[in-house]
Structure 1
Amino acid sequence: MKEAIDAVKYSGKGLPETRLKTYGNTLLEAGRVNERVVCLSADLTSQTEADLFRGAIPERFFSMGMAEQNMIGVAAGLARSGEIPFVHSFGCFLTRRCFDQVAMSVAYPRLNVKLVGVMPGISSPGGASHQAIDDLALMRATPNMTIIDLGEATEVAQSVYAAIQHEGPVYLRLRRGVLPVLLDDSKFKLEIGQSYLLRRGADVGIITSGLMTERALQAAALLERQGISTSILHVPSIKPLDEEGIVTVAAGCRVLLALDNHNIIGGLGSAVAEVLAERRIAVPFIRVGLRDVYGKAATNAYLFRHFGFDPDQIAQLAAERLEGHTAGSMIGSWQQQQTEQAGWGTDWTDEKKG
């Protein structure tokens, strides 16, 4: 675990700075520097920001059509030839639809293929068929696979270079388009296998990754208003996992939460539970995520509220589990805070950010 409190740019109050198409621009930059980097897409080129690479370096871009399984096989062949292929699709298609090809053609021989799964968890408005709520479980169960769950612009940019430098298969799980900037790139360095302490407190511990880290910071700000201190451990590296960082945070809090933009089965929450059980750490523990159900077709604002992912819902859940603490109602307080600080209504997510 690395302390990264000084690297945090966003306090959880108001709205963070944002950047557009961080991943696509960084991949293009990396491709210009390293001629071994090639780009593959399966009929979702602009939707995964791979169009930026295609437009600038067309000779190293391969459109595979609506055939994800074939794309994985081609990427494996390119890797055997010494190239560093980045393959792109929505996370649900890249993992679930072609799991056998990923396992047998890429992970088993430990080939140098980088899998980029866009639209993680319930961030897609496309309904259950397009929401990657089991991708972490599938990739965690795959030997030789490295998994990085990303949710803010600084680490997304650094993840491209980290994946290139890592020899072997990597699954990058990230969101397209507009991303918050939570971390100062001059003070933060993404490392595979590392976790980052973003905030220190003695009451609540929150272990989080990806899109949920922004919400963890917002929940901590709400808890602070009630005199509740919060530690936040940001865990972009789901596999390999920094078990010692989890142990440290769990041992220093009165209630522990794991936030998952994923099914509670098989994701970060499951990984944390495994560590707690094996290390015999007794702490009240809550997994926040989809509780073994499929997603729905709706806006992000509706989906995150429906599944209990909003900051005030997370803060309320934590406060209610604290022994000796009488939790005041925080439900709705986040939307009210956003209205006061940004002049917006309650529907504050992507529809307004974009």
Structure 2
Amino acid sequence: MTTRLTTSAMIASFADPGQKTTSAPFGHALVRLADERPEIVGLSADLAKYTDMHIFRDAHPDRFFQLGMAEQLLLGAAAGMAEVGLVPFASTYSVFATRRAYDFLCLDIAEPNLNVNVVGALPGLTTGYGPSHQATEDLAILRGMPNLTVVDPCDSVEIEQCVPALAAHPGPTYLRLLRGNVPTVLDQYDYRFVLGKAAELRTGRDVVLISTGLMTMRALAAADRLAADHVDVAVLHVPTIKPLDTDAVLRAADTDRLVVTMENHTIRGGLGESVAATLAFAGKGRGILPIALPDEFLAAGALPTLHDRYGLSTDAVVDRVRGALGT
């Protein structure tokens, strides 16, 4: 496989060359929501610029709160605001929200079931900075937390749609944020985000790709590539990791097709294991092909190179499916 060194590790961009993108969709969506709802507030742990929260800060400076590099304080303050009727969106990097502030998220927010929306940037392998900033295990950490809803959006379209849906949800949420210039893909599919629901974006008789997050755009691209080989590929997008749309998963996976799960997360504790458990609990045990990050600390480097190395690129997905089909 050809190694690509076209971007620096400093640039957290996973968009393919020439791909349509939208700038800071989360920040702009939050501003639009706040224009309509005065109880919306934004918080950050000294990372407003790097979580697109600066868009909200500039539009509503009186409703923005900078807590400094203290994620425990960030989530504790957000909990207090929710207790008095505000609807906080608290942004930081995913690694800090999950590893550093887990107990505050669990006991201050989830246990009292408060409407706090935790926004985690750099989920999975969306930065080249290495293990200190790569939140490759955040889904595994959070799936076991009661009351918490977990959302992994595909692109800018879904981010813009899910922001008001998360604010309207009465309990706590965790959003895996794609920031900066975010690819725009789902506008081609007449897509509407519905919290807790999966969406079949294309049908196919040979293979079904069950994907979440940015891997859905790779699933769609891989399906187009495989069609040239006369392989008919369905794509089921699963934006809500918890609660999982088990009915949609069972309809998609309980067939004679090759079932492939795709996620920007370690193979442990994410979508792949959730799909496997759903099948097993329903008495539909069968083999699935998981495409995910390995159970190891990942290297630092340029994102295109890392996505090739760890199997998240479209080329890598196409190769894995072809290999499984023996084509």
* TM bin (shorter chain): over 0.9
Report the secondary structure of 2:154's partner residue.
Answer: coil
Alignment of 1:275-354 (within 5 A): 275-322=278-325, 326-327=326-327
1:31-70 per-residue CA deviation (whole Å, 9 max, x = no partner) reads 1111100000001010011111111211111000000001
Query: Given the alignment, which residue of 261, 264, 269 partners 2:264?
Result: 261
Give runs of aligned pairs for residues 146-185 of structure 1, distance below 5 A.
146-184=149-187
Q: Find the residue that maps to 1:87 and give its secondary structure.
A: strand
Q: What is the aligned residue count?
A: 312
Task: Give the AA of the match of 1:215.
Answer: R
1:283: how far off?
3.6
Counterpart for residue 146 of structure 2:
143
Residue in structure 1 matched with residue 24 of structure 2 by the alignment: 21
The 3 A distance-change label for structure 1 pair 25 and 253 is farther
In structure 1, stretches of 5+ residues that fail to align are 1-12, 328-354
2:4 corresponds in structure 1 to: none
Query: In the alignment, which residue of structure 2 is the partner of 1:80?
Result: 83
1:252 to partner: Cα distance: 3.1
Distance 2:214 2:191 in 1: 17
User: 1:277, CA displacement in angstroms?
Assistant: 1.1
Counterpart of 1:226 (choices 199, 214, 229) is 229
The one-letter amino acid paired with 1:189 is R
Mapping of residues 86-105 of structure 1, within 5 Å: 86-105=89-108
Amino acid at match of 1:92: V
Match of 1:130 among 133, 136, 140: 133
The letter for the 1-side match of 2:38 is: E
1:235 and 2:223 matched: no
Query: Is this contact kept in 2: 1:75–1:113, CA < 8 A?
Result: yes
Distance in structure 2 (CA, Å) of the matches to 1:186 and 1:211: 15
Match of 1:199 in 2: 202
RMSD: 1.6
Distance 1:294 1:253 in 2: 35
Q: Which residue does 2:44 correspond to in 1?
A: 41
SS of 2:65's equivalent in the other structure is strand
| Fraction of identical pairs, as percent | 38
Q: Residue 57 of structure 2: SS of its match in structure 1?
A: helix
* Deviates most, 288-297 or 228-237: 288-297
Deviation at 1:288? 1.1
What does the per-residue CA deviation read over 1:197-238, in whole Å, with 9 as the maximum and x for residues that have no partner?
011111111100111011101111121111111110000011
1:15 deviation in Å?
A: 5.3
Give 3-state SS (helix, strand or coil) of 2:132's partner: helix
Contact 2:308–2:315 (CA<8 Å) still a contact in 1? no
Could you state the TM-score of these two structures normalised by the residue count of structure 1?
0.85
Change (3 A) 1:181 1:240: same
Task: Give the TM-score normalised by structure 2.
Answer: 0.92
* Unaligned 5+ runs, structure 2: 1-15
**Contact 2:189–2:201, Cα closer than 8 Å, also in 1:** no
Secondary structure of the structure 2 residue equivalent to 1:205: strand
Change in 2 beyond 3 A, CA 1:305/1:57: same
Superposition deviation, residue 312 in structure 1: 2.1
Checking the alignment, whether the CA contact within 8 Å between 1:257 and 1:285 is kept in structure 2 is: yes
The runs of at least 4 consecutive aligned structure 1 residues that moved more than 6 Å come to none
